[in-house]
Amino acid sequence: MARRVVVTGVGLASAVGIGTEETWQALLAGRGGVAPITHFDTTGFSVTFAAEVKNFDPLLYVEKKELKKMGLFIQFALTATEFALKQSKLTVTPDFAERTGVYIGSGIGGFDVIEREHTALLQGGPRKISPFFIPATIVNLASGFVSIRCGAKGPNSATATACSSSAHAVGDSFRIIQRGDADVMISGGSEAAITPLSVGGFASMRALSTRNDSPETASRPFDAERDGFVIGEGAGILIMEELEFARRRGAPIFAEVVGYGMSGDAFHITAPSETADGAVRAMRATLNDAKLQPEQVQYINAHGTSTPYNDKLETMAIKKVFGDHAKKLAVSSTKSMTGHLLGGAGGLEAGIAVLTLRDQVLPPTINYKNPDPECDLDYVPNQARKAEVEYVLSNSFGFGGTNAALMFKRWSE
């Protein structure tokens, strides 16, 4: 029989707050974090805004001598992990270090370092490249640094499945604990891709909103006037534990992980299938894994990117999976406030799903003004809502047609 897995800590760092409760309270207040870009000079760029983490001082979370060894996505991962460990009251000790793993996803990794070191190469030649360039950049070093910081000697891995990266990391960590390969997993995702090359690249694909005159209203998932996503940064980390292990150490328990599904579209490198087939199969797989009927789910934290195609097809997929119950479901996209963290989105949103269950309140979709006939569900528009919630589904869909869905259950003894 599969072992039960619970969440005992959530760590968040986002454009609306540094820290779990600061982020959560901002979301419930409907406060967005999108603003003009400050990380670089946007002169000549067609998109000049993003959802940056504001007033971030890495020295509060990382020793000064260590900073040169890590890209910003690693710094965010360590920051969110610190908040998650504190909430979980977890200190990894030698007696269970080998049963504690780390699994953190990122879609792009250290883009900031790649661009910086490429400039150094062009300006000063190969001798100017930092010896820390590679470890500061590669995706698995978020997991690596966290494991070193915590002394976690169990399974150590990373995912790079575009915008599904950290949802896959959480789901895979769920499986690792279920099958008995670890008792604790520190899992989630981190991203820091608000850089000239990244913003310019996504803009050239016409994937980003170009609402430069009103950045605070640019991320508007499911709204008829949505025109693209807003790139965000930050991290979301969960402390996941086998139930009896968590009970023995007296850990706080906020939710149970009960389902995980994944699928591939086999359709297009960036666009979802026109029938939403991949999203449908991922959600159905999650329901089957959790042994749930569609009508047992009350809320979906949607992928909801604010792109015309994605929002329409996710709505279609939800209606196919949930049938008549879809009209009774609450669905919201917190990307309307945090922006889209790319590979870090699933970790951040998994944490938000857990907090939704803990506090029995639904975060809103802000900037929802003009209903779209093709997006006709209850998107919790503009204001948070108290609700009785037993099960929450969190969706993540990525470039390459890679899909993941996670199911969380309200904790009850």
Q: Comparing C-alpha atoms, which of 307, 301, 266, 271 is closest to residue 283?
A: 301
Contacts of 307 (CB under 8 A, 6+ apart): 207, 226, 228, 229
Give tens-digit pLDDT for 191-218: 999 999 999 999 999 999 999 999 999 9
Model pTM? 0.98
CA–CA distance, 73 with 61 (Å, rounded to integer):
13
Q: Comparing C-alpha atoms, which of 402, 41, 88, 25 is closest to residue 249?
A: 88
- Helix extents (H) in 154-264: 165-178, 196-204, 243-248
The domain limits of the chain are: 5-248, 259-410
In CATH, 5-248 is 2.60.40.10: no
Architecture of domain 259-410: 3-Layer(aba) Sandwich (3.40)
Residue 68, helix vs strand vs coil:
coil
For residue 124, the tally of other CB atoms under 10 A from its CB is 10
* Residues 383 and 364 sit within 8 Å (Cβ to Cβ): yes
What is the pLDDT, as a whole number, of residue 2? 87
CA–CA distance, 310 with 318 (Å, rounded to integer):
12
Equal CATH topology for 5-248 and 259-410: yes
Work out the burial of residue 332: count CB atoms within 10 Å of its CB; fewer than 13 is exposed, 13-18 middle, 19 or more buried.
Answer: buried
* Residues 265 and 272 sit within 8 Å (Cβ to Cβ): yes
Q: Known catalytic residues?
A: 163, 303, 340
CA–CA distance, 242 with 183 (Å, rounded to integer):
5
Scanning the structure block, which residue is given the tokens 């979370």? 61
In the chain, which residues have pLDDT < 70? none
CA–CA distance, 189 with 140 (Å, rounded to integer):
11
What is the pLDDT, as a whole number, of residue 213? 98
Give tens-digit pLDDT for 239-298: 999 999 999 999 999 999 999 999 999 999 988 889 999 999 999 999 999 999 999 999
Q: What does the block give as tokens for 316?
A: 């279609």
Under DSSP, the state recorded for 202 is: H
Work out the burial of residue 91: count CB atoms within 10 Å of its CB; fewer than 13 is exposed, 13-18 middle, 19 or more buried.
Answer: exposed
Torsion of CA 242, 153, 11, 184, to 10 degrees: 0
Give per-residue burial for 252-287: e unless 16+ CB within 10 Å, then b. ebbbbbbbbbbbebeeeeeebbeebbbbbbbbbbbb
DSSP assignment of 304-321, as one string? --S-HHHHHHHHHHHHHH
Q: Comparing C-alpha atoms, which of 46, 47, 38, 77 is closest to residue 61?
A: 77
Residue 127 has φ and ψ, to the nearest 5°, of -70, -15
Q: What does the block give as tokens for 49?
A: 């805004």
What is the pLDDT, as a whole number, of residue 243? 98
Residue 117, helix vs strand vs coil:
helix
CA–CA distance, 17 with 31 (Å, rounded to integer):
10
